Amino acid sequence: MDVQLATSMFTNYTQIPCYDEMFDIDGTPRPHYARLFQFLSEISSDQFEPRRQIADMDFLRRGITFTVYSSEEGVEKIFPFDLIPRIMPMAEWRLLEEGLKQRIYALNCFLHDIYHDQKILRDGVVPADMVLGSSNFRWEMVGIEPPHGIYIHITGTDLIRDADGRYCVLEDNLRSPSGVSYMLQNRTIMKTTFPALFDGQNVLPVETYPQELLKMLRFVSLVDNPQVAVLTPGIFNSAYFEHSFLARSMGVPLVEGSDLVVRDNRLYMRTTHGLKQINVLYRRVDDDFLDPLAFRSDSVIGAAGLLNVYRAGNVTLVNAPGTGVADDKSLYKYVPNIIRYYLSEEPLLDSVPTYLGRDDEDRRFILDNISELVVKEVNNSGGYGMLIGPHATAKECDLFRRKVSEQPWNYIAQPVIQLSAHPTYTSEGFAPRHIDLRPYILYGSEITLIPGGLTRVALKKGSLVVNSSQGGGSKDTWVVADDEHD
């Protein structure tokens, strides 16, 4: 079939210096993208644009929105969705899967160790002051044995690809990672807006995630046939849609702090017929707000006494409190050694080279090379509190130099990784935009991954920041079985 280049939205597609997911260096579509490329080359923007609008309306109608409180009546916005799917061949996915299982297993061993014997600290593999001095180390968790020894039931690891196409872990996200509902909703909306895209593609389904989640939540209970509930901060939380979606898909109640009551070291919820005990709480509330008696006393979105219920073994919290200590940005540097320490194996997934402000030699390197580096605050996320050296002004670099000198332990730096790029719909046709990948990993009777994930895309030209708070959007993510591309 002739590719109608005159009207193709790929006409002005110019590769940028990084790994392009769809095209190899000569501009030939990679085998697993051949069919998609063919389809998209034959479509005009007059055909594409209405579908994009339908997809946007669909998100709005389903209420998959977040609210911007700038006016009296809050303005509801949708997270931008790009209709061109990201495709991963099965073989590539298998490698990621093995690497992530290894990493999550080791991080869980690490958490168990630091809240019990602290062997790894005594052996000097990880600096003790970094762990014990972290604001995310929860002394309340020391000596507590979580059911089945599992701390990180749900992980959403952020991965990127470097210029050679190598996958690297960027962040581990061990505390209530969000976005999994987008993985599912993006797929649903893709199927209704662009069914033809799926023709002849063997895309592995993601729909069973909520069932897998429920299976895990039931497994980690200490009682038979447990009452499971999802705890949300409430309807004003930007992830409320996700919380209600997951509760609904599992058929379990979605509770708020005001529904919870602690009596006799047990957790209850208020129902129309009195109090009913909860055995497993999938909490989407941060540690700090979980229990005003144990953590922040001004919290009204948790339950007073909840941590005591947990310590008494009368409720399973998912994820366990105190996991944040294992995903802070300075600990990240030690994860490869953590894997070697507990598993006596080499890490399967690469990490990004990391320089620690707290380390004298690293700090000198950071200060000398700040304009070439990405500098991040150890305990910040969402793309806030960071400096991208090559994109920053001299004044901004000076500011961060001062910050790093004044609070060295609070900063890390990494070389700028040119994230891989993916064709994305823009006002000028298809253009390369940087992307990352967040698969979701469940840790129950075994560690499992749903084949897919959330691909976030930096919609601004040249931007390397994919966070939704910084103008990022998302894409449907396909893992395709290999046999279709022989």
Q: Residue 87 or 213: which CB sits closer to another protein?
A: 213
Q: Residue 273 or 395: which CB sits closer to another protein?
A: 273
Cβ 269 to another protein, closest distance in Å?
6
Which amino acid type is present at position 441? I
Cβ 283 to another protein, closest distance in Å?
16
Q: What contacts 14, CB < 8 A, 6 or more positions away?
A: 431, 432
Cβ 49 to another protein, closest distance in Å?
20
Q: Residue 183 or 247: which CB sits closer to another protein?
A: 247
Cβ 74 to another protein, closest distance in Å?
11
Cβ 272 to another protein, closest distance in Å?
4
Q: Residue 168 or 275: which CB sits closer to another protein?
A: 275
309's tokens? 């219920």
Give the binding site for another protein (CB under 8 A).
Answer: 60-63, 73, 225, 227, 235, 240, 244, 247-248, 251-256, 258-259, 261, 263, 269-273, 275-276
Q: Residue 252 or 459: which CB sits closer to another protein?
A: 252
Q: Residue 76 or 129: which CB sits closer to another protein?
A: 76
Q: Residue 73 or 164: which CB sits closer to another protein?
A: 73
Cβ 150 to another protein, closest distance in Å?
23
Q: Residue 210 or 347: which CB sits closer to another protein?
A: 210
Cβ 456 to another protein, closest distance in Å?
25
Cβ 203 to another protein, closest distance in Å?
23
Cβ 251 to another protein, closest distance in Å?
7
Cβ 276 to another protein, closest distance in Å?
6
Instruction: For the chain, give the longest Cα–Cα distance.
Output: 74
Q: Residue 119 or 248: which CB sits closer to another protein?
A: 248
435's tokens? 């992307």
**Inter-CA distances, 176 with 100, 243, 262, 435, Å:** 17, 11, 23, 22
Q: Residue 275 or 348: which CB sits closer to another protein?
A: 275
